[in-house]
Amino acid sequence: MWTIHEEEILAATLLDLVARGSKSDNGFCASYLRKIKDSIRAEFPNTDIKGTPHITSKIQAWKKSYISLRGILGQSGVGYNPHADYKIVCNNEQWEHIVQADKNARGMQHSSGAGACRIWV
């Protein structure tokens, strides 16, 4: 289970790698997992987080959630509150249509978004 602080370090390290030119159209350079792991270990020396499967699966989960979130927020009448509780705002009927179209969205409406959603905006 990832802590919020570990997720923040992961996101900050990914952003740093992009800023330093370590990402191309085909993805990150070969050493990106080591750099992320080193960043997390600098803050949490006793962590057991590994590049594979932990970091790669977290990034895949973020991608999946991000794609769902973009689709949800792209719909008319749907809002997002980035200043208070990080919740998706829409009526119940509209939410039911969203969940029918995207099963990954099911838990997103009332999620506090304390982790990745806060990092994305």
Structural domain total, the chain? 1
Q: What are phi and psi of 70, to 5 degrees?
A: -60, -40
Ordered mean pLDDT values, 10 residues apiece, the chain (121 residues): 92 95 90 96 95 96 91 89 78 91 84 49 48
Q: Which of 116, 2, 14 is nearest to 65 (CA)?
A: 116
Q: What is the pTM of this model?
A: 0.79
Domain that holds residue 36: 4-120
